[in-house]
Amino acid sequence: MFTGMKGPISGHISGLMLGVALMAAGLPAMAAEGTTNSATVAAAPHAMLKCPGMASVPMTSDAEQSLPMKLVANLACGQNVAVLSDVEGYTAHVRTMDGKEGYVAVMYLAMGVSAPVVAAQTEALSANAPNGIARWQAGAVGCDQFQSNGHVVQSITAHGITVQVSLQDTGWKLRANIAVSNQTADEVEIVPGQITLDELQPSLRALRKQDPAKLGHVVNHGVFYTEAMAQPSPSAVTTHNIGVSVNDATYRPADTPDYMSEHLSAATPKNRASAYADPADIKALALKAGSLATQQKTAGVVWFERDANARELSMRIPVGDVIFDFPLSFEQKK
């Protein structure tokens, strides 16, 4: 039990009040896993962390918060969390905006006051989406670039939805790792069949998607091997940030959470031999179609046919009312 409280009665009363509030609202006591690739789930209630006189509150992996504490993270006051369940009374199971899950004492939760803050934050970081198309540009609001598990990742946040992309050349197929996080108040649909990859240079043509079921039966090609890593296109720089380099993956204009890390950890082989995945691995790691509830994220792989001479490409991913456009390029070997 966490000993920093001023009396156990206050914690039990707070837990009881939170449980009553959840029952009165008719909300489910438990939510589906936020990192699964599919399934529709009900939206979790929200709360804001309140901790007067403290800079942060502990989030632990155990509901009892026994000593020594098994810390998941120290959460800053004022941030929003999704309340997944309140089964212990003293603590509540919560999920942070960047996908971390654990338990916090209910005395630190202010129920029902987070929605306006979330809306303000997502709107402030939203990329421009003229005609419903948000195009990645280095240095632009809502656009980000970083390294995750050794992969170059591009990220766009627009209208509360974040889409992240990392594209690799396996020497046989092109492998697109894609992550989506929904921070809107509504469900959004993920439809892998609508995702496109077009070669722009040296030729102009659409690259066909590949069936994961068929890829698993080809044993002499490593579908998770990386021969070359795509970079942001050199042309994707905003006019007011000409000095920004698209190849500088440490440049973080928005400091967006890394929604790709967990997936890339599972999809990155430890050596060349393990890149030859069996059909079950390919099916499990492929991006799944389905509905994404608020505060949920998903990640997976979409494979495309390969052109060894491809230099400039454009990947388009429709989510909600926005098409997320990622300009990509491969450096050709001389």
CATH tag for 8-118 (out of 1.25.40.10, 2.30.30.40, 2.60.120.1570, 3.40.50.1360):
2.30.30.40
Highest mean pLDDT among 65-69, 102-106, 116-120, 329-333: 102-106
What is residue 67's predicted lDDT score, i.e. its pLDDT?
85
Which helix (H) or strand (E) segment holds residue 292: the answer is strand 290-292
- Given a contact cutoff of 8 angstroms between Cβ atoms, the answer to whether 88 and 2 are in contact is no
pLDDT per residue as tens digits for the range 168-188: 998 889 999 999 999 888 899
Q: Domain residues of the chain, as ranges?
A: 8-118, 125-329
According to DSSP, the residues that pair with 198 across neighbouring strands are 206, 314
pLDDT at 35 over 60: no
**pLDDT bucket at 88, cuts 50 / 70 / 90:** low
What is residue 115's predicted lDDT score, i.e. its pLDDT?
42
The 10 Å Cβ neighbour count of residue 37 is: 19
Alpha-carbon distance of 179 to 176, in angstroms, equals: 10
**β-strand pairing of 80-85 with 71-76:** unpaired
What is residue 227's predicted lDDT score, i.e. its pLDDT?
86
What is residue 136's predicted lDDT score, i.e. its pLDDT?
96
**pLDDT bucket at 120, cuts 50 / 70 / 90:** very low
Alpha-carbon distance of 113 to 119, in angstroms, equals: 11
Instruction: Give one DSSP letter per residue of 302-330, joined into a string.
Output: EEE---TT--EEEEEEEETTEEEEEEEE-
- What SS3 state is found at 244? coil
State the average pLDDT for the chain.
Answer: 78
Where is pLDDT greater, at 244 or 316?
A: 316
Would you mind telling me the total number of residues written for the chain in this entry?
334
Alpha-carbon distance of 193 to 276, in angstroms, equals: 24
pLDDT at 256 over 70: yes
Q: What percent of the chain has pLDDT over 90?
A: 36
Mean pLDDT value of segment 197-223: 85
Chain centre distance of CA 240: 28
pLDDT at 166 over 90: yes
What is residue 87's predicted lDDT score, i.e. its pLDDT?
55
What is residue 266's predicted lDDT score, i.e. its pLDDT?
81
Question: Is the bond preceding 202 in cis, omega lying within 30 degrees of 0?
Answer: yes
**pLDDT bucket at 17, cuts 50 / 70 / 90:** very low
What is residue 50's predicted lDDT score, i.e. its pLDDT?
83
What is residue 301's predicted lDDT score, i.e. its pLDDT?
95
Residue of 52, 43, 301, 90 whose CA lies nearest to 185: 43
pLDDT at 24 over 70: no
3-state SS of the chain: helix, strand, coil percent to 5? 20, 35, 45
Alpha-carbon distance of 259 to 254, in angstroms, equals: 14
- Given a contact cutoff of 8 angstroms between Cβ atoms, the answer to whether 49 and 104 are in contact is yes
pLDDT at 280 over 70: yes
pLDDT per residue as tens digits for the range 284-314: 899 999 999 888 999 999 999 999 999 999 9
What is residue 329's predicted lDDT score, i.e. its pLDDT?
96
Mean pLDDT value of segment 122-151: 86
What is residue 124's predicted lDDT score, i.e. its pLDDT?
47
- Residue 323's φ and ψ, nearest 5 degrees, are -100, 120
Using the 8-state DSSP alphabet, how is residue 128 labeled? P
pLDDT at 209 over 90: yes
**pLDDT bucket at 10, cuts 50 / 70 / 90:** very low
Q: What is the dihedral of CA 184, 190, 194, 195, to 10 degrees?
A: 80
Alpha-carbon distance of 183 to 122, in angstroms, equals: 8
Sequence-ordered strand ranges (E) for 18-77: 46-49, 56-60, 71-76
**pLDDT bucket at 325, cuts 50 / 70 / 90:** very high
**pLDDT bucket at 41, cuts 50 / 70 / 90:** very low
